[in-house]
Chains A and B, each alone.
Chain A
Amino acid sequence: MAGLASLDDASTRETRAGAHAQRRLGPRSRWWSPGTRKALVPYGLTGPAVLVIVVVALAPAVYGVWLSFTNWQFLQSTTAHFEGLGAYRTIFHSAEFWSDLGHTWFWTAGTLVIEVGVGLPLGLLLSRPTRVSGIATSFLLLPWITPFVVVSYSWLYLLGAGGPVHSLLQALGIVGAATPLASTTLALPTLTVISGWKGLPFMTIALLANRRSIDNGLYEAAEVDGARMFQRFRYITLPLMRNTIIVMSVVLGVLAFYSFDLVWLLTQGGPGTSSELTGVMIYSQFFLNGAPGIAAAIGVSMFVMLIIVSSGILALTRVNSREGR
């Protein structure tokens, strides 16, 4: 889904450059002529990048699909053999998979609610140029760029029994004497809030940039017509930011859907499996259970599900990158 549309913004410039090349090449050049060698230049230039993507991303993805049809277990054999849908049957009959999937959708939706719910007002606030708006925006991005390991351990102490955030939540009566991460009901929502906090800066920046690009004439005209602040937001700002909100939600939603780091580092999916995501299940099926076939089948199922959902959302909301630009 990434970037199908970025192909069509080829400027007239490059076509002109191409026409030049065509003319130099001549219609009757032979394959060994200098013209042919010149024609191979762009393939040589793009070759290394294409090779990396094919060898380290596309081929493994295909290999993963094959592995998912093998039901390979380290304990039973050293090599993978085709076994049809065995691994899929196993995961679809596993209660853990379905509950993990539920957690993952809750987590994805919750993360996005926080990112949009806080990111939209914050983006609008920071879109007002002031002496401090630039530096505030730069620093806002710190949680987004800080590695997950660092963020996770910080939160582990902040939320630990007696830690600063835990004490605050306890004083407010939201949690008891134990850390929320040890509670089967509070662990997942707590992790989801942290996930939303981590992704919030990127959403905010995108919305801020979008707001600044809106032509002010629209607001002036609305003001002349007597539109109040809320009406201007409702009928100008929101419709013009809708596409960015949807596209960014899909981008950040995909990221959230494939989460592993935060949950693994903070709770390892616990207590029990109450905060386990499908991403964590892939890891534990592979490394703890020695079942690469099952782990691959979970990966493929997640991929298929996400393609369906995100293209469904983009189709339903009729967003394409062309009008989003």
Chain B
Amino acid sequence: MKTRTIRQRSALEPTGKARLIIPVAQVLVVLVLLLPMIWLYLGSVRTDLDLDKGGLLPHTFTLANFRSVFDEGFWTAIRNSILVASVVAIVTTTFAALAAYGLARFSFRGRGPIMLVILAGQAIPGLVVLVPLVVALQRLHLTNSLVGLGLVYLPLGLPVSVYMLRSALLARPAEVEESAMVDGCSRVGVVRRIVIPLLRPSIVAVGAFTFTLSWGEYLFALSLLTGNSVKTVPLALQDLFSLYTLPIGTILAGGVLVSFPVVVIFLAVQRHLVSGLVAGATKG
């Protein structure tokens, strides 16, 4: 006999007639809201003749659209985006984890103001610092360079990441770490053996989050990059579109290539990510 864990019924769980109606309504409403995305994904494997006929469901299946996207030199852009997004994700996550550990496990003079400065980064929108940043990077000859772009991306997800990792640490008692230190374990040892394993799910979620932020960023990429060799995926997609000679299917395939990694990464870590982001937005 199969054993099942006994689950307490939530009061919100529908009963009676609603048991049938509510799940159906949930699926239907979400499907309607997702129609544009569904159309995009299905459209990327349709021939142009089929797309012209309209409708949502494909009558044909082809991978030719993806082939022509790569013929347009999409590989370079994908490589550039992976490079920038990975380096930014690693640096941001490292800095955020260090800061979160410092803020959560030490009490020191200036802790409040330091937290405030880090969170102020969240309150300054990209559009406000666009002009000064581009002017400064021009002076430093860092426009049209992936280094300059990566630099600009560093503060994008940093405040939220610090907030999420700090909350994750505060949710765990510090006693284990303290007693390990009393027993003669060094601070570094504590971090390596206790803190990092403890934070691992949150670190992965934060890394994924910061990766997706810079992967699809458009405004600064548009403002800083012009050379074909340094373009990231949003600009490559824009190039596909502005050629005007390419059929719709190719653009849709390009769109799928740009959004697919983000979707996969998100669905993989969303359990750890969503609650943190919501908390970061409403309490931050």
The reply to whether B263 and A129 form a contact with Cβ atoms under 8 Å apart is no
Query: Which among B13, B130, B162, B262 has the highest number of chain A CB atoms within 10 Å?
Result: B130
A66 closest partner in B (C-beta): B132
* Complex: A7 Cα to B283 Cα, angstroms: 10
Nearest Cβ in chain A — how far from B36, in angstroms?
5
B161 closest partner in A (C-beta): A49
A11 within 8 A of B: yes
Contacts of B135 in A (CB 8 A): 63, 67, 292
A52 closest partner in B (C-beta): B154
Q: With A61-B128, A128-B13 in contact, do A122 and B55 touch (Cβ < 8 Å)?
A: no
The reply to whether A150 and B104 form a contact with Cβ atoms under 8 Å apart is no
A296 within 8 A of B: yes
B198 within 8 A of A: no
B 46-83 to A, binary, CB cutoff 8 A, 1 in contact else 0: 00000000111000000000000000000000000000
Contacts of A7 in B (CB 8 A): 112, 115-116
The reply to whether B154 and A56 form a contact with Cβ atoms under 8 Å apart is yes
Name the one of A149, A212, A247, A325 contacting B258, with C-beta atoms under 8 angstroms.
Answer: A149
B-side interface residues, number (CB < 8 Å) = 107
Chain B residues touching A, majority SS: helix
* Complex: A200 Cα to B218 Cα, angstroms: 21
Selected A-B contacts with CB under 8 Å, 21 pairs: A9-B170, A13-B170, A13-B174, A17-B174, A18-B107, A46-B118, A48-B95, A48-B98, A50-B118, A58-B117, A128-B22, A130-B19, A146-B216, A147-B259, A149-B216, A157-B251, A197-B36, A258-B128, A265-B238, A303-B128, A324-B282
Name B125-178 residues within 8 Å CB distance of A. Answer: 125-136, 151-152, 154-155, 158-159, 162-163, 170, 173-175, 178
The reply to whether B281 and A49 form a contact with Cβ atoms under 8 Å apart is no
B6 within 8 A of A: no
B192 within 8 A of A: no
Interface segment, one of A89-97, A132-140, A172-180, A182-190 = A132-140
Q: With A45-B99, A126-B26, A141-B274 in contact, do A147 and B128 touch (Cβ < 8 Å)?
A: no
A254 within 8 A of B: yes
Name B180-211 residues within 8 Å CB distance of A. Answer: 187
Binding site for B on A (CB under 8 A): 1-7, 9, 11, 13-21, 39, 41-46, 48-50, 52-54, 56-58, 60-61, 63-64, 67, 122, 125-133, 136-143, 145-151, 153-155, 157-158, 162-165, 167, 197, 200-202, 205-206, 209, 211-212, 216, 219-220, 244, 247-248, 251, 254, 258, 260-261, 265, 279, 282-283, 286-287, 292, 295-296, 299-300, 302-303, 321, 324-325
With A64-B129, A260-B219 given, can you name 7 additional A-B contacts, CB distance below 8 Å?
A21-B107, A64-B131, A128-B18, A146-B263, A200-B33, A212-B12, A324-B282
* Complex: A7 Cα to B12 Cα, angstroms: 33
The reply to whether B12 and A127 form a contact with Cβ atoms under 8 Å apart is yes
The reply to whether A122 and B102 form a contact with Cβ atoms under 8 Å apart is no
Contacts of A43 in B (CB 8 A): 102, 108, 110
The reply to whether B131 and A206 form a contact with Cβ atoms under 8 Å apart is no
Q: With A53-B117, A63-B132 in contact, do A125 and B26 touch (Cβ < 8 Å)?
A: yes
* Complex: A39 Cα to B39 Cα, angstroms: 58
Name B239-273 residues within 8 Å CB distance of A. Answer: 241, 248, 251-252, 255, 258-259, 262-263, 266-267, 270
